[in-house]
Each structure stands twice: as structure tokens, then as C-alpha cells.
Structure 1
Amino acid sequence: MKPIKNRKAFTMIELLFVIVILGIVGGLALEALRQYYDGIYRTGEYSKRVAQADQILEQVSKYFENGISASIIRLDANNTVFGTQCVGIPANADSSTDYTIAFVAVDNDGLRGFWNAGIGRWLSGWTSDVLSVGNTLISSDANFTSINPGNSLVGAAIFRSDGLGEGADECHRFGWENALNTNDVYRRINNVNSDVNLTLNGMLSISGQASRAYVMRTAHAFRAKDGVFNMYTGFEPWNGEQYNDVTGRMLGDKVTHFTILYDNRNTIMNSNVGNIYTLKICLQGLDENLSDSNLSANQICRERMVHVRY
């Protein structure tokens, strides 16, 4: 009987070769697993930040819808100051420049109106056909005191819907600087005389009896700084107030850029029909190490068109 020779399972060289092969395969497997989970994390963060950007734009667009086109202004270029350093009206070249964007809005009461049971119809409340006689504003289908008892209107302003594009100095049009008014598109309310009669601080220059007028009670400002996106509301530039006189409300974080774009080749400023603007917001993205990044190449930007009604 032929004897069986004993043989070792592996030589040292073979064992080293197997270890190297297993190491390479294991390394490739770990890298594939890392990339897989990195991709899941990156996709999840992208989806979350896109949803956050869309939610912010949804909130902001609701305020812009009731805005006055001629009042939209850029303040505080590139966060150099905190106040109302007026830069002028928006333009499409603002896509990479940061400003505080501010505007004056029509009061919600002017859109809501109220029901008059005596005559069986809705009355407009704020927004109304008016007759301007000197510094007196008469609106036969309004009822100022029933909606706002006493003189709660004093300090608010009334603006006329025609002629809002007048004047070359946009920074003074609604009192953004020094509460100056260069073209009489609005007047402040000094007294509520009756249900249908207001005393203003000057002539409103409304031409004709069937002219439209609206009430202004507040301006809004939106500012992105140090990753925080704040809204400022409840201030009256026509009374010399600035947005930094009120406390901001945070609408989002990780925000790197916000602006409003307007191309005057596409629309003509007309407060009776409003204008179309594009709101743009950018959030921090992720770099190759999955860390938050402010680099433009990594940012997540979203846009939304909005119809500013006035």
C-alpha cells in the first residue's frame, strides 16, 4: 500500500496572497458600502433642504402677493449695515448679490370687506372707490369705524392705485429714507371723521371720482444673514420707522442667499394689474465630506414666480 504524504494547507506565500486578495476585496466592499450610505445621506439632506426652501418660498410668496410693486426695494447690500441703506429697485443682476428685500403691503382688511345686512350686500371696507377733496378722503361704500373702532387708523396711510410708477427716486417713494414722499402717491391718516370720511395729512391727488385707493398699515422686510433667514413686519417707513426697529421672526436656517428678480422688459409697472417677479432662495449644500458648504457650486437654490397684485 502506497503511503499518503502529508502536505500543508498553504505555503507562507500562498497565505500572504490570500490575505492580500481578501484585503482588497474587503476594502472595495467597504468603499462601496460607504458610498452607498453617503449617497443615501446626501439624497436625504438634499430632499430635506429642497423641501425647506420650497416651504420658505411658499410663506414669503403669500406676503408678496399683497405687495405694491412700486414699493419693492433693496436695502443693505451684502450685509454691510443693519437698517435701511437704500440701494434701489430689484434687477435680474441681483442673482448673486445679497440685499434685504422690503416692500409695503396692502392691508388684509382691504381685501376681506364686510357684510351689510341692511342693504344685503358686501361692502369693500378698506378698498374703495373714493373722492378726494383737499386733504379729505370720502368713500361712500366704506365703513371705517365699524371695522376699526376709534382712531386705530391714525398713523396708517392711504395710497392711490394710479401713478405709482411716478418719480425717479425709488428710495423716497414710500419713505424708505427719512420718511420723505416725493410724488404724493400716499398720505398718512390724521383722523377718522366718520364711517365714510378720513382726514389725511395732505392732498392725495386722486384724479376723478371713481379712483381706487387702498390702506397701508405695514411694510415687510426679508433678510438672510449668517445662515438665518428672518422676516421683519409691523413697521411703517412712511412714519420714519425702519425694519430694524422691530424684532425679526426666523423663517429658516442654513439660508445663504435670498433675492427677488425682475425683468422690466417683460412687464410694465402698473399698480392696477401688478407685476410678475421671481423669488430666489439658496440654502447650504454638502461638500465632499458631507459638511455644510456655502460655496455656490454646492448650494441648493430654488425659485418661485409670484404675482405682486398692486
Structure 2
Amino acid sequence: MGKALERRAMTAVVDDICDSVGDDPTAVLKVTRLKKKNEYTYLHCVAVSALMIALGRHLKLGEDTVRELGLAGLLHDIGKMTIPTDLLEKPGRLTAAEFEIVRAHPENGYAMLMEDNMSSIVHDVILHHHEKLDGSGYPHRLSGDSITLHARIGAICDVYDAVTSKRSYKRQWTPSEALTQMRSWTGHFDPEILDAFMRCISIYPIGLLVRLRSNRLAVILTENVTRPTEAMARAFYLPRELQFIEPADVRLSSGLKGDAVVEIEDPERWFPGEWEGVRDAVLSGQQPTFATLGDLSAATVAS
């Protein structure tokens, strides 16, 4: 994403992946075979593994669990070994019949690893990373609490990497575009884990309402392509005082100094029924007021 490579961080990821597969050489063999089958799927699995490790650590899960998440990411699409190569590499849209074949990969992957010494976390992510909270996913149409935390993590990391990857048949989305779309898919992802994922990778969609370290509410303005962790935001509201302020542009910091995002806020908490007007005014550089937006003082709460 335009950032310089951080050797120390990279080595830590490699160590985690090595630890996660170190006790099971068959896992390495399967991933190597996947590379020969389809280069994109192989690279996708490595990327999802790294993202799941990062998110698991951000959620403060135990290191043993983090390593299992890393292994689950590496193997989550192993079922695509059973899909015909010409179908995996088809440059255009799949037909309904072809899509049904591809949809079988979670169950195929689960069946492939049934006799291997894999944890329940790995099996669960392989089988359920395409389930959705509203029950519209596959293969079992699970919903709500029946989808585990590990499968929810896998679903977010899988889709994020897929839509931000370049493919022959579609334009890759920028990180900001991807997260904007993912947040708009009601019932697809766990919203709390998706918010945690955004904080984990320090990339936020344009127009998102956030709380800054300076305890101001702000709207994300731009995605910084060359340094994604240093986007711009426009501060416009003091939540403790319940008052608008003159909009001020802030360059977000990824370090301990300067202003940074500390929380993703729910617009309906602060501006019920009026968020679109507030956001549009702020993005255009205007200072919203309760007089112009309606009396919201009774609906807002102090932090």
C-alpha cells in the first residue's frame, strides 16, 4: 500500500506463520500444492494469514489462538484444490452452475483436513469463512451467535484481501473503498470486529465519524495513498460540551505524538436522523449548527 517495508514487523509475521505450521509438515505441503494450483489463491491465503494474525493480536487473543488463526488463514481456501483450474482462472463472471462448484470449496477443504491433526479453530474457519451474520452465507446459512469469533475474523480478512487484490476481471479497490463498501453491507460482517480491523490496520473510509485523541469528533477526509496510516480528518464537534466548532483539518498520526483515531463513533448516537447533513456540511468545509440541523441536544449524550 505504498509503505516502506518494516523488517522487524515482517519477521514477526513470518515467525508466527512458521510457528503455526511448524508442528504439522502436511500443512506446508498442502499450501505448496495450492501455489502450483493457482498463484492468486496461494498469495491470497498468505495475505489472509498475516491479516488474521494482526487482527487476533489487536483483539488481545492469546498467542496460541493467534498462531491457530495464522494457520487457519493459510489453509482457509485449501478446498479450491478441488476446483478445476480453468474455473479458478476464468477471466469473466461465473455462471450460476460454475458458482455452485466454487461454493463447494469450504466443505471440500474441511473434508480434505478431517484426518489431519488440525485444531477446531482451523476447521471452523475453513468451513465457515463465507457465513454471514444475517444467515445469507454458505455453506450452512449460519447466523448471529452461531458463527464463531474465529470465523467472523476470517470472513473480514478474506473479503478485504480479495477486493483489494488486482484480478484480470475487475479493478482492485483501494483500502478506503474496500472498507466503505464492507461497512455498507448490512448483515454481512460483525460490525464491532470490522471496526477493530480498521483500527488494527489504521485505514478508515472517507466520511467515517471518529473520535480523536484530542477528544474531538471528526470526519475522515482523505486516504493517504503513500502513507495510509496518515490520512486527513476534519474535526468539527466537542462531545463533552455538545457543541460544534470551526472545522479544523488534522493530519492523523500513527505514533504516540500528534492526533490519532481512538474510537469509531456511531453517528446515530450524536446526530440521530441528521448525520448525512452534518457529514456533508463538514466535508464541504461548513460549520453545522443545531439551528440548521434541528434541535438535537435532547438526543445527544455526554461522553
More strand, by proportion: 1
TM-score (norm 2): 0.23
Name which structure has the greater RCO, CA cutoff 8 Å, separation 6+: 1
Q: TM-score, normalized by length of structure 1?
A: 0.22
* Higher gyration radius (CA): 1
Higher fraction of helix? 2
